[in-house]
Amino acid sequence: MSQSMLTVALASFYFEALCAWVLAVLLLSRYRASRFHRNVAGALLAIGLVQFAEVFSLLDSQNVLLWSRLALAGQFWLASALLYVGLALTETEGSRIGMGFRWRCHAAAIVAGLCAGLAWTDLVLDWVTFDNQVVAVGRGPLGRVVYFVLILLFVLGIAHLESLLRSLREPLRYQLKFVLLGLGTLAVYRIYNASELLLVSVQQFDTVLVNGVATMTALALVVLGFARSRIHQVTDRVYISPQMLYGSVTFLT
């Protein structure tokens, strides 16, 4: 990858992390009482953390392992947050489906927390030396297992978001469609990235641009979704009185 392309990619990572955090703060400040918005904000905070850590894993050569571990832990946070986004939409009081999915979310969150803790050990990520003496951060002895669990968590999150998108009715479907698509896009890229690390023990720099494009697209979809929801709420509140319309037409004629 050329230096100019790498610079653009790193700048996009900074911008995406900032956008994710700003949007999360706005959601928490305006919709603090809504569990759905709080969980979406948690997912945005997680992706901001991941992007921020991945930037410094490329810039801070002395602490690459530290930033790589932080990015991996953030991905487990993101995977858990996606499950709880779905839980906030499906859970109802006294519903067996809601209760069953709640316990599955809690179990997945516990597994994600354990894997995130393992990410800080040499069992998952460590320095890898090749034949030509090139040293890079790669998988440890348990790296394959942890990345497989990460893929599984994201797959579960996507499956539930997809089922939600199919089952939602109007006007909720109109309001949340692009938000769920954006979150799903984040999960799809993370599955791709983790799958690559299952095959190749070291992160490839070619995925930097793909990461930037995928994350930017996902954030744009989330912003578009909340913007459409806001516009829809405003238009629903607008009511034109027939008498007013008749009077206006009479005045113009």
pLDDT greater at residue 130 or residue 82:
82
What is residue 208's predicted lDDT score, i.e. its pLDDT? 74
Give yes or no for residue 248 having a pLDDT over 70: no
- How many residues are recorded in the chain? 253
What is residue 133's predicted lDDT score, i.e. its pLDDT? 63
Cα–Cα distance, 77 to 71 (Å, whole number): 10
CB neighbour class for 7 (10 Å; exposed up to 12, middle 13-18, buried from 19): exposed
pLDDT digits (tens, 9 = 90+) for 176-232: 889 999 999 999 999 998 998 888 766 666 677 788 889 999 999 999 988 876 544
Average pLDDT of the chain? 81
Strand partners, 136: 128
DSSP state of 200: S
Q: Which two tokens stand for residue 6?
A: 């790498």
Mean pLDDT of 52-57: 89
Kindly list the structural domains of the chain, giving each domain's residue range(s) and its CATH number in brackets, ordered by start. Answer: 3-252 (1.20.1070.10)
pLDDT digits (tens, 9 = 90+) for 69-106: 999 999 999 999 999 998 888 764 444 455 677 888 89
Torsion of CA 171, 174, 177, 179, to 10 degrees: -90
pLDDT digits (tens, 9 = 90+) for 151-172: 999 999 998 888 888 877 777 7
pLDDT greater at residue 174 or residue 67:
67
Residue 22 identity: V
What is residue 3's predicted lDDT score, i.e. its pLDDT? 67
Q: Which two tokens stand for residue 29?
A: 């400040």
Mean pLDDT of 228-241: 44
SS3 117: helix
Cα–Cα distance, 73 to 81 (Å, whole number): 13
Query: Rounded to an integer, what is the distance from CA 157 to the centroid of its chain?
Result: 10
Exposed e or buried b per residue across 142-160, where buried means at least 16 C-beta atoms within 10 angstroms of its C-beta: bbeebbebbbebbebbbeb
Mean pLDDT of 137-144: 86
Cα–Cα distance, 194 to 148 (Å, whole number): 8
Q: Which two tokens stand for residue 62?
A: 């002395």
3-state helix, strand, coil in the chain (%, to 5): 80, 5, 15
Judge whether 252 and 220 are in contact, CB under 8 Å. Answer: no
pLDDT greater at residue 205 or residue 41:
41
